[in-house]
Amino acid sequence: MEANIDSKMWTDPIVKALIDILVEEVQKGNMPNGVFHSRTWTSMTARLNSVTNCSFNVKQLKQKVNRLRSMHREFTLLLKHTGFGWSAETNTVTASEEVWQNYLQAHEKAAQFRKKGCDHYKLLGIIFNRSTATGVLYHSST
């Protein structure tokens, strides 16, 4: 149900506008140590509301950014797994049925990528690759 509410409030154009704002702030150096300062969050919220004619608050932006970070991390883990391929042009993940079944047993959240990859994956990488813990800093559930 949360995903349904999320998709109604966060339409594709609004999510893209948010990602564009996040990328711009990262490129300006406003995400030191992988964290935005409170004044940056306030500024980004005002800009998103202006561009989209919506009335989001900082908490809603932070929650959405955290969901985007989790999605990016999950997709990155999937792509690193043996047997998976990805076409950036078509945003589709390729793998055999057996590879999918085995992977989904340990990574339920990856099911969202079965029919469609991770929208805006490269842009999300600009935002999260420095701040997303992987390797020795990230403990997977497997």
Q: What is the pLDDT of residues 22-73, one digit of tens each?
A: 999 999 999 988 899 999 999 999 999 999 999 999 999 999 999 999 999 9
Whole-model pTM? 0.85
Q: Tokens representing 89?
A: 């042009």
When the pLDDT of each residue in the chain is averaged and rounded to a whole number, the result is: 88
Half-sphere exposure of 11 (CA within 13 A, CB side): 6
More confident residue, 140 or 19: 19
Using the predicted structure, report yes or no on whether residue 89 has a pLDDT greater than 90. no
Alpha-carbon gap, residue 81 to 99, rounded angstroms: 9
Q: Bridge partners of 93?
A: 86
Residue 92, Cβ density class (10 Å: 0-12 exposed, 13-18 middle, ≥19 buried): middle
Question: What is the model's pLDDT at position 134?
Answer: 43
Alpha-carbon gap, residue 105 to 88, rounded angstroms: 25
Question: What is the model's pLDDT at position 131?
Answer: 56
Question: What is the model's pLDDT at position 141?
Answer: 39
Is 84 in contact with 92 (CB distance < 8 Å)? no
Q: Spell out the domain ranges in the chain.
A: 2-131
